[in-house]
A and B are shown apart, each in its own frame.
Chain A
Amino acid sequence: MMKKNDKILLGHGSGGRLSHELIRDLFVKHFSNPTLIKQSDAALLQLGSTHVAMTTDAFVVDPLFFPGGNIGNLAIAGTVNDLSVSGAIPRYLSASFIIEEGLPFEALEQVVITMAEEARKASVEIVTGDTKVVDRGKCDKLFINTTGIGEIRAGAGNIASGDLIKAGDKILVNGFIGDHGMAVMSARNQLHIKAPVESDCACLNGLIDHVFNATGEVHFMRDATRGGVGTVMAEIVASRPWGIQLFEAEIPIRQAVRGICELLGFDPLYVANEGKVVMVVDGAFADKVLQQLKSHPLGQDAAIIGEVVERHPGKTWLQTSIGGNRIVDMPAGEQLPRIC
């Protein structure tokens, strides 16, 4: 619980335990309404007889340009993905820019061109926006906020809640984890580590369409952004009558990402992604969904990484690569490189 004299820490923005506490104890507490209390990635609303999903996200990445993309890619993909995993078809975005005085025009132009391309690829339109410029030093080069609206697919409204998940379901991810977090860390170069890793940033609505068009029985989806796949698993299992069992040997991870993680003492399960969706599907359909994912460019390295089980309700366990077992909990804050 935060007290009046406390200050906001970086950990409050990193997607782990501290973030959740801030959201729960401050924002939800004061803004309280039935939709907000659900704390889904996207709010599911009804306007007249139309069912609409709405989501918003701010992008403050440093550096602006990193291997595999720039802040523009994130600004579109982040919001498109939040809508898609909530069972909606993304349609319209708004984009507001907070620009630091002195930012080179070329950089801004590149970001905007990137956003236009991503929006075209994802078949969404940026229909409104805003621009503010602040004094040098008052914001870190460029902050972007995008808000998105989409139409909820028939019957898919409950997907983000996790209420459809039951024991026997299987858990899938569409490819290598940890790429984005490690690409950005490597590009920051504070730690002088270089790695041939590119961000996996991508709009997933095409991939999700592909799966929905071929199979049903998707019980849950969430994109694994800050806090990684581990945080998604810890979040969704909390207070449920079922548990989750993950298999470390099945989780796809690139060699170079493993390398940096080992070097710095990071757990890849908690590293950020920007093009990964975790899907929970009916056990009987898991192989079919897997084939569907693999037949799409963004799902070629998809894998079944775990299952929903009756034992240890409310907890996620990981069977380690050597056959041991351990719990997967929410991280307290950002992962920091350690010496021990």
Chain B
Amino acid sequence: MYLSTKRKYRLENASYKVEIMKYIDEYRDKDKVLSLAALIRKTSVKPIRLMEVCGGHTMSIQRFGIPSLLPETIELVSGPGCPVCVTSRSFIDQAIAYSKLENVIITTYGDLIRVPGSTSTLDKEKAAGADIRMVYSILDALNIAKANKHKKVIFLGIGFETTSPASAAGIIKAQMAGLFNFSVFSAHKIMPPPMAALIDEGVNINGYIGPGHVSTITGSHIYDFIPQKYGLGVVISGFEPLDLLQSVYMLVKQHETNSPKVEIQYSRVVKPEGNAKAQDMLDEVFYLRKDWWRGLGELEASGMGIRDKYAEFDAEKQFDVEVEPTREDKGCICGDILKGLKKPSDCKLFGKACTPAEPVGACMVSNEGACHAYYRYNKDSQ
């Protein structure tokens, strides 16, 4: 094949050495990918609709062009797996309200900077003079708190079970160091409730591509109820092309033989019991509470609140702010898109009033929101 021979030539004769990035490149082997894709084509007879609930999976699938390798019997649908997309507008509004307080530094992951609140974004508030700083890790936020003792540092905690242990670790560290000018505004959520809610709402899928890094923390047993109660399979998948294809293959086989179950494809990091130490940290710092999910509404025991013993580090308890009334945009159907009920192209605002440069809904803001990914990677979008 044109490309694989060219690539081998480059590797052998290049003036520079292309080193393999371990645990990444081996799972991007083109020959194996094409072979597995061929195997899937031979195996898949019954039409099958698979949903992934992880922003990282959405990105990988689009970035590597996986849909272009699959037969027509297989449809991949993106669910509410992007923590930015499911975060309520009122969270952003409240974060913006915090940013307007005196002597407050807002620290946030890059993902949130452009997410629309009711009338503004963190990006725009920064331009208007608010001290809003992007960080890669909560550890950076702790350092900012240490270096600015006379200011209050609020960290915006978003993310599912992959990321919430980091917030737990950060809060524990803050307490040990007596860093009382530091607090977290938590919008952390957990995965199983929306996975159930979707099926309860009647979303039509035949199986879940399970979130690989959430499961690294939680283990696989949290999904046991899905085949038991709903007769749908869950294959916990890695993020490289071979991982995703193998997971699709495993789900197709389950579907063809009517044997839904929970399986771990991503066995090199996901253990059935997960990461016990991280789970303990979560339990130590957070409790489950009901939470509001864009597209799904209120779900019981789906969000993570900070326990009373860490109240000093809970921004919601430490700061009183007036938050503007939440205004949703008319015409924005992010909710339906998050549930896989509608496609981005079904939305009246898509590509016109709502574009990656000027997003209306969260699905367009986030790089792995369904609308953004569709806009960037799909030839029919423009």
Are B110's CB and A337's CB within 8 A? yes
Whether a CB of chain B sits under 8 angstroms from the CB of A28 is no
Shortest distance in angstroms between B233's beta carbon and chain A's nearest beta carbon? 24
| Chain B 360-382 interface 0/1 with A at a Cβ cutoff of 8 Å (1 = within) | 00000011100000011111000
User: Which of A262, A315, A318 touches B24 (beta carbons < 8 Å)?
Assistant: A262
**Chain A, 197-247, CB within 8 A of any chain B CB:** 247
Shortest distance in angstroms between B38's beta carbon and chain A's nearest beta carbon? 11
Are B65's CB and A325's CB within 8 A? yes
Bound together, the chains give a CA A11 to CA B135 distance in angstroms of: 17
| Chain B 30-45 interface 0/1 with A at a Cβ cutoff of 8 Å (1 = within) | 1001100000000000
Please indicate the chain A residues that have their CB under 8 angstroms from the CB of B379 in the complex. 312, 315, 317, 327
User: Which of A16, A255, A301 touches B19 (beta carbons < 8 Å)?
Assistant: A255
**Chain B, 75-116, CB within 8 A of any chain A CB:** 82-84, 109-111, 113-114
Are A247's CB and B3's CB within 8 A? yes
Are A324's CB and B68's CB within 8 A? yes
Most chain-B CB neighbours within 10 Å: which of A21, A249, A262?
Answer: A249
Whether a CB of chain B sits under 8 angstroms from the CB of A338 is yes
The interface size of chain A toward B, counting residues with CB under 8 Å, comes to: 49
Are B64's CB and A320's CB within 8 A? yes
Are A320's CB and B63's CB within 8 A? yes
Please indicate the chain A residues that have their CB under 8 angstroms from the CB of B177 in the complex. none
Shortest distance in angstroms between B160's beta carbon and chain A's nearest beta carbon? 9
Whether a CB of chain A sits under 8 angstroms from the CB of B28 is yes
- Would you list 12 pairs from A and B whose C-beta atoms are within 8 A, ordered by A residue? A7-B127, A7-B128, A21-B357, A249-B6, A318-B65, A322-B34, A323-B33, A324-B65, A325-B65, A326-B63, A333-B114, A340-B159
Are B241's CB and A322's CB within 8 A? yes
Are B123's CB and A9's CB within 8 A? yes
Given A190-B140, A321-B30, A321-B64, 7 more pairs with CB closer than 8 A: A10-B123, A17-B357, A193-B136, A249-B7, A319-B65, A322-B28, A327-B376
On chain B, which size bracket covers the interface? 35 or more
Please indicate the chain B residues that have their CB under 8 angstroms from the CB of A318 in the complex. 65
Most chain-B CB neighbours within 10 Å: which of A17, A258, A321, A331?
Answer: A321
Are B68's CB and A340's CB within 8 A? no
Are A340's CB and B28's CB within 8 A? no
A324 with B241: in contact, given A7-B128, A338-B110, A339-B159 (CB under 8 Å)?
yes
Whether a CB of chain A sits under 8 angstroms from the CB of B172 is no
Are A255's CB and B21's CB within 8 A? yes
Closest to B17 in A: A255
Are B59's CB and A340's CB within 8 A? yes
Whether a CB of chain B sits under 8 angstroms from the CB of A264 is yes
Whether a CB of chain A sits under 8 angstroms from the CB of B296 is no
Bound together, the chains give a CA A301 to CA B140 distance in angstroms of: 37
Please indicate the chain A residues that have their CB under 8 angstroms from the CB of B136 in the complex. 191-193, 264, 337
Bound together, the chains give a CA A247 to CA B4 distance in angstroms of: 11
Please indicate the chain A residues that have their CB under 8 angstroms from the CB of B357 in the complex. 11, 16-18, 21, 332-333
